[in-house]
């Protein structure tokens, strides 16, 4: 593990310890062809929520891989956090978190708040009758930024909210903020893994 990832892991342990969770997180490792290993740490439950956090995206700064010169030090860094209520199993979610964390290296995507990332496949297996979530909307998360000191940019922990294909299409048309407002008006708990996809008008 690199010094940056060591610092990220220690930062996460401190954050969740302050919430009363001092146990080591469950951990899964995922590898993709041509990409360095991504770990997914699962913290919780805290209350009734599980927090799945990537560890590996922030190893390198994000940037355009087609650029003539890629700065190996400067540039935005991030990890992905998916929080779900601990009510039903969510098989496949850890791999999805790793896929999201690998998108900067694989697709040259810079992860940032308000981005919509469509994976085009279910984020996890949902019960029959419930449409799959296949995309996420990124937002500023509850975990504070990790300052690494100059010349490094801080590591940001972006909350990834699972959404359905219909919600993704609506967000592209109306905007991510409008989708969030529709959730607020309808009292939608976006951490509920069995929630019904919103049908905003």
Residue 140 included in any domain: yes
Provide the domain limits for residue 161. Answer: 3-186
Residue 197 included in any domain: no
Q: What is the pLDDT of residue 69?
A: 60
Residue 41 included in any domain: yes
- The answer on pLDDT for 64 being more than 90 is no
- 193 close to 117: Cβ distance less than 8 angstroms: no
Cβ within 8 Å of residue 132, ≥6 positions away: 122, 123, 126, 164, 165
Tell me the percentage of the chain whose pLDDT exceeds 90. Answer: 75
Taking only the tens place, the pLDDT of each residue in 1-58 is 689 999 999 999 999 999 999 889 999 999 988 889 999 999 999 989 999 999 999 9
Residue 33 included in any domain: yes
Residue 194 included in any domain: no
Residue 109 included in any domain: yes
- 43 close to 21: Cβ distance less than 8 angstroms: yes
Sign of CA dihedral 106, 109, 111, 114: negative
Phi, psi of 32 (to 5 degrees): -125, 150
Half-sphere exposure of 135 toward its Cβ, with a 13 Å CA cutoff? Answer: 19
Summary mean pLDDT of the chain: 91
Residue 152 included in any domain: yes
pTM of the model: 0.93
Taking only the tens place, the pLDDT of each residue in 68-106 is 566 677 889 999 999 999 999 999 999 999 999 999 988
Residue 10 included in any domain: yes
- The answer on pLDDT for 129 being more than 60 is yes
Q: What is the pLDDT of residue 33?
A: 84
Number of domains in the chain: 1
- The answer on pLDDT for 153 being more than 60 is yes
């Amino acid at each position: 593990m690199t010094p940056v990832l060591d610092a990220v892991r220690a930062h996460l342990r401190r954050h969740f310890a302050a919430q009363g969770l001092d146990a080591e997180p469950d951990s899964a490792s995922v590898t993709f062809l041509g990409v360095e290993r991504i770990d997914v740490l699962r913290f919780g439950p805290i209350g009734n929520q599980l927090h799945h956090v990537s560890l590996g995206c922030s190893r390198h700064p994000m940037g355009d891989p087609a650029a003539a010169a890629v700065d190996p030090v400067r540039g935005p860094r991030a990890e992905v956090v998916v929080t779900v209520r601990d009510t039903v199993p969510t098989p496949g979610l850890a791999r999805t978190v790793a896929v999201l964390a690998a998108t900067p290296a694989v697709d040259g995507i810079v992860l940032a708040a308000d981005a919509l990332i469509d994976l085009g496949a279910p984020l996890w297996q949902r019960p029959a009758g419930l449409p799959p979530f296949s995309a996420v909307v990124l937002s500023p998360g509850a975990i504070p930024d990790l300052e690494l000191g100059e010349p490094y940019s801080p590591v940001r922990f972006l909350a990834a909210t699972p959404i359905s294909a219909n919600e993704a299409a609506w967000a592209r048309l109306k905007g991510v903020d409008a989708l969030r407002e529709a959730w607020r008006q309808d009292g939608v708990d976006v951490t509920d893994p069995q929630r019904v996809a919103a049908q905003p008008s």
